[in-house]
Amino acid sequence: VQKDLVTVAGTLEAAAEAVVGHRVHITGCGRTDAGVHARAYVANFRTGSTIPPERLPYALNTHLPPDIVVTGAREVHEDFNAIGSCVRKSYTYLIYNDRIRNPFYVNRAWFYPRRLDEAVMQAAADQFVGTHDFAAFTDKKEEKSTKRTIYAIIVSGQGSRVKIRYEGTGFLYHMVRILTGTLIEAGTGERSPESAADALRTLDRRQSGFLAPAQGLFLQEVHYR
């Protein structure tokens, strides 16, 4: 929630307040940069309302704009926390890789006209799988710990669409976008796949790739125990 800006969080809280009849504080499963999308997102709030949880999505959606939709609701145990209880997240970065842009992908994919070698990108991506210190892949230095575990990074192509899927325990500020920029540099031949591992070892942001735009990034899935 921002004081002077319209945000997803602020909009959702206002809708919830209108439905349950009291002020609520919504805890989301993480913060995303402006321009990033979510195909699946989990949030929780406390209420004394007697509205059955299965009816909440319909009630909330009458108070939400077309680009925010509540798809389900359930009652959870008292110590559940949408961000603290999360054990795995997956993101997808979508690239429209063609010489001519597609208007139907505007703000939903990054239009990138230079040819990308997906096999080289995958070779670079493999360097990141496992538990590592990703200090070189974040733009925020005050993190308590920059160690994260990545379970998989999968680069796939279908026609002009190149999709990169990231699965891990969690991701640092700008981490997925910097990883994507690094893979792009490998895919265009600007860096070798092995240099990705070199950047990890240096812990130096200057050794990793550029920050890819926000508009191609989607939070895909959130998992809980």
Catalytic site residues? 33
Angle made by CA atoms 82, 87, 89, in degrees to the nearest 5: 85
DSSP 6-21: --HHHHHHHHHHHHHS
Query: Rounded to an integer, what distance in angstroms lies between the CA atom of residue 41 and that of residue 9?
Result: 11
The number of helices, as runs of H, and strands, as runs of E, in the chain is: 5, 9
Burial class of residue 219, CB neighbours in 10 A (0-12, 13-18, 19+): buried
Tokens of 11: 């909009």
Q: Are 88 and 207 in contact (CB under 8 A)?
A: no
Q: Are 93 and 220 in contact (CB under 8 A)?
A: no
Query: Rounded to an integer, what distance in angstroms lies between the CA atom of residue 15 and that of residue 25?
Result: 12
